[in-house]
Amino acid sequence: MLNVRRRTDTTPRTARTALFTVICGLLTTFGAVGIALVTVTTPASAAGCATSEAHRGQIETSVPWAQQRYGLERLNGIADGTGQLVAVVDSGVDVTHPQLADAVVAGIDSLDPQGNGQVDCVGHGTAVSSIIAARPASGVGFRGIAPGAKIMPVRVSERQEIDGTANGRAVSMQGLARGIVEAVDRDIDVLNLSLVTSENDDALRQAIEYAVNHDVVVVAAAGNQHAAGDPIPYPAAYPGVIGVGAIGPGGERAADSQVGAYVDLVAPGEQIVAAALGRGHATYRGTSFAVPFVAAAAALVRQYHPALSASQVAARLTATADPAPGEPGSPEYGAGVVNPYRAVTGQVTDTSGRLAGVAPLQASPGRTAARAARTRNLALAVAGACCAVALVFTALAIALPHGARRRWRPERPSPAGRIR
């Protein structure tokens, strides 16, 4: 039999109560800080985008095929995108969705000057963002590829196609370019562009060059116009951009996914489960929804390999891609199917990449220093908090025994001339 010696607690109940109160106060204080860091505010314009109960999706309890393909549990404890900021240039993000409320920072709203991008009238940007960073939830099979990353929405459109006609507001090419530049100026790590235009606009091209020159990983859709003759998609066709095509559950190219030299990688883009407006999930298709799989993989790589430049990240993504039906470098599949786990953990020997216009691999001292500074500041903040807690507990460790000896009565002053 195990002999357990009974410990006698000589600390009076009043002392224990005082200690418990202090600890609860500390926990409440730090908890409030955490809540303040993730609380989001929906702009006034969101009232016009209220989602009725009929539009809310059903909760997906099983693991979708795309998440099954990647075996995301293998990345547990290795990389989840923490510390990475991904700009999603799209229709905004609905921050009322439970899996996104903690994933979105205040962003840019090019449609409503008083807004911050944390509203979505059509659901496209919400779905795209959730594929990147939806937080895991109990009883929910769907989660993002990089659930520790943060999303910065850049709201540029609320257009949707109805009966072949596009309706709704959208910014001009100049407005789109300004949104991209402003996002880059906010120190983003990855730029997700689930949009396509056939217009080779100077302002857009310069904005993409600005992002590439500022060491941002730029990922864009290859487009869904294969039946229309594969018109050149921008910004995917610009130098330095990772152009992404779509595949289905069987690994074959999606019928609408465009074919051309601008396809650098492919990713799941058929029968894609992602967040719906307000709550639950819906099914989507198209290269728009293949892009965030690659953007999320880039965020994982940037977290695990912080010294890599954007071009090195792109080269790692292409070098570690899974084989596809076409030959490596084919206009249908590019380098193959993006593989987040291999991109993070794989031993890469061929780092030449195949992205047109990507500069030779080189370190990025400025960006590495910036990331190091952010990590250092976070570490200092945590260390400071820990020191504060340690000081409080040290003071209690000194005060409690002293008070217990006096049975918690106030100490009386000694009479004059008497030595105690």
Residue with the two structure tokens 């570690």: 320
How far apart, in Å, are the Cα atoms of 314 and each of 257, 347, 355, 358? 21, 15, 8, 9
In a domain, 52, yes or no: yes
Alpha carbons 202 and 223: distance in angstroms, whole number: 20
Same domain, 212 and 270: yes
State residue 352's pLDDT score: 52
Residues 50-75 pLDDT 10s: 554 545 789 999 999 999 999 999 99
Same domain, 224 and 274: yes
Judge whether residue 85 has pLDDT over 90: yes
Model confidence at 335, in pLDDT bands (50, 70, 90)?
A: very high
Same domain, 339 and 385: no
Q: Could you tell me the two tokens for 12?
A: 């009076």
- The stretch 34-60 carries a mean pLDDT of 47
DSSP symbols for 309-320: -HHHHHHHHHHT
Could you tell me where the DSSP H helices lie in 85-201?
Answer: 124-133, 173-185
- The stretch 193-204 carries a mean pLDDT of 97
Query: Which residues are 157's β-sheet partners?
Result: 170
**Residue bearing the bigger pLDDT, 151 or 21:** 151
| Cβ neighbour number for residue 322 with a 10 Å cutoff | 16
Judge whether residue 88 has pLDDT over 80: yes
Judge whether residue 201 has pLDDT over 90: yes
Same domain, 335 and 398: no
124 flagged as catalytic:
yes
Among 5-9, 58-62, 281-285, 382-386, the minimum mean pLDDT is found in 5-9
Same domain, 325 and 383: no
Dihedral pair phi/psi, residue 204, rounded to 5°: -65, -45
Contact 218, 193 (CB under 8 A): yes
Judge whether residue 389 has pLDDT over 80: no
Residues 292-322 pLDDT 10s: 999 999 999 999 999 999 999 999 999 999 9
Same domain, 389 and 254: no
Q: CATH code at 179?
A: 3.40.50.200
Judge whether residue 183 has pLDDT over 90: yes
State residue 90's pLDDT score: 97
Model confidence at 198, in pLDDT bands (50, 70, 90)?
A: very high
In a domain, 68, yes or no: yes
List 129, 157, 194, 288, catalytic entry: 288
Judge whether residue 35 has pLDDT over 90: no
- The stretch 238-260 carries a mean pLDDT of 98
In a domain, 23, yes or no: no
How far apart, in Å, are the Cα atoms of 364 and each of 71, 92, 119, 219, 370? 31, 31, 34, 19, 10
309 flagged as catalytic:
no
Same domain, 211 and 172: yes
What share of the chain in percent tops pLDDT 90?
65
Mean pLDDT, the chain, rounded, equals: 80
Q: Is 160 helix (H, G, I), strand (E, B) or coil?
A: strand
Domain of residue 272 covers 48-363
- pTM for the whole structure: 0.75
List 94, 97, 124, 364, catalytic entry: 124
